[in-house]
Amino acid sequence: MSRYGHGGAVVVGDVELAGGQWFPPHRHTVHQLVWSRKGVGSVRIDESTWFLPRTLALWIPAGVEHATGAIDPSWNRSPYFLPERCPIGWPEPTVVAVTPLLAALIDHLADFGLGPGERVRAEAVVFDLLRPLEAVTIPLPMPSDVRAARVAAALLANPADGRTLAEWGREAGASARTLRRVFLAETGLSFGRWRTHARLRAAMPVLATGHPVAAAARRAGYGSASAFVAAFHRTVGVPPGTYFGGGTDNPARRG
């Protein structure tokens, strides 16, 4: 990171990714804001995955191991921040809404021909514009019990499968009571909540690529867009239009 000269705090790195391409888990000594200038990026940290259209970015604190990838062909334009020169110290991965002004400033800071004064002034505005979106990720820990893992894998392959736990039990060779106990003990989630997380996770890439809510609801196995929106809001903390609209409810995304 030799380009942090003249008192600057931010370096912008450009990486192009093919659809489905991933960088293996790694960590940085600096903070990173993962942002896709084009396409939809994705970040995995532990058991959580974020899907990031152009209107969203993810703040990753220095030292946090993560893997980055892309749903479709993407151009990642990610700012990196020197911790000792950055006034922001969020300790956890944090979703940030990328407004048109913030996007323009990131593009501006990608010009390494900027003078020291120009760079410092632009960086100060970027710091002011980094505001967290009040939303949570959707963890999806996997059970290790062979019977529960078989059910989990089937639901990941087809999240719209609406079989009851008793029906799954007959296929997996365990009672509904046993599966219920195993899911809670090994994932920290009830079976119903785990399935909701799996469904919402399956819908995230659909929403991130700009498809309407109705399409995401069908992918996730919900009977109506309104039921899907309610489940998304309860779990994530904001409705999908707010999350994928960069902080503003976008009726066009409702389908």
Q: How far apart are CA 246 and CA 58, in angstroms?
A: 12
Would the pLDDT of 164 be above 90? yes
Confirm whether 180 is domain-assigned.
yes
Domain count, the chain: 2
Q: Whole-structure pTM over 0.85, yes or no? A: no
The contacts found for 198-202 with CB under 8 angstroms, 24 or more apart, are: 198/140, 198/152, 198/155, 198/156, 198/159, 199/159, 199/160, 199/231, 200/138, 200/231, 200/232, 200/235, 200/236, 201/49, 201/138, 201/140, 201/159, 202/156, 202/159
The CATH number of the domain where 188 resides is what?
Answer: 1.10.10.60
Is residue 141 one of the residues assigned to a domain? Answer: no
**62 pLDDT tier (thresholds 50, 70, 90):** very high
Of the segments 5-9, 19-23, 26-30, 205-209, which one has the largest average pLDDT value? 26-30
List the one residue out of 122, 135, 118 whose CA is nearest residue 207: 135
Domain of residue 176: give its range: 146-253
Categorize the per-residue pLDDT at 2 as very low, low, confident or very high, splitting at 50, 70 and 90. Answer: very low
Report residue 213: phi and psi, to 5°: -60, -35
On whether residue 27 sits in a domain, the answer given is yes
Residue 251 banded pLDDT, cuts 50, 70, 90: very low
Strand, coil or helix: 228: helix
DSSP line for 137-187: ----PPP-SHHHHHHHHHHHH-TT----HHHHHHHHTS-HHHHHHHHHHHH
pLDDT at 255: 28
Q: Note whether 38 and 122 are same-domain residues.
A: yes
**Among 103, 129, 155, where does a domain finish?**
129
Same domain, 99 and 184: no
Kindly report the CATH number assigned to the domain that includes residue 108.
2.60.120.280
**Single residue among 129, 160, 183 that ends a domain in this structure:** 129
Domain stops at, among 74, 95, 129? 129
Residues 114 and 176 in one domain: no
- What local confidence, expressed as pLDDT, does residue 1 receive? 39
Residue 53 lies in a domain: yes
Cα distance between residue 30 and residue 110, in whole Å: 17
> Is residue 216 domain-shared with residue 169, that is, in the same domain?
yes
Who's near 247: CB < 8 A, 6+ residues apart? 55, 97, 99, 133
Q: Is the residue at 46 inside a domain?
A: yes
Residues 118 and 183 in one domain: no
